[in-house]
Amino acid sequence: MQEQESGRRVEAGTFRDAAFEGMHGSILFVGPQDKWRMEVDDGDITLRQGDGAADCVISCTERGELLRLVRGEQNLVTAILQGRISVEGDAMLAVQVAASMPSLREPETQAGAQ
């Protein structure tokens, strides 16, 4: 998610995070300017720019909305109820992953940063 807000950005990469243990699946984040794909495999997370088939598609038309979601600054359920974000496919996976997003902001979750 290339656009910057509050001086922070989301970077592509591979992470390990205990908050994602037990989760498996792929999520495609579709925004007005780009698409990002997240693969989750029992605590291992790969985030990259791109497209492709996914278990769940989270999309919006508002610039910055997905970025706030990935950073853990936006509650997924609230955004869905307000019509700012839509979810197709495995909605439970979307809710589980969104609930774990804030932990991705912690520096120690990045692979190799320990």
Domains, in order of start, for the chain: 13-106 (3.30.1050.10)
pLDDT of residue 105: 58
Residue (of 60, 54, 49, 48) closest to 28 by Cα position: 54
Q: What percent of the chain has pLDDT over 90?
A: 48
Q: Is 48 helix (H, G, I), strand (E, B) or coil?
A: strand
Contact 64, 34 (CB under 8 A): no
Q: What is the mean pLDDT of the chain?
A: 82
Residue (of 45, 6, 5) closest to 29 by Cα position: 45
- Per-residue pLDDT of 56-105, as tens digits, reads 999 998 888 887 887 778 889 999 999 999 999 999 999 998 888 766 65
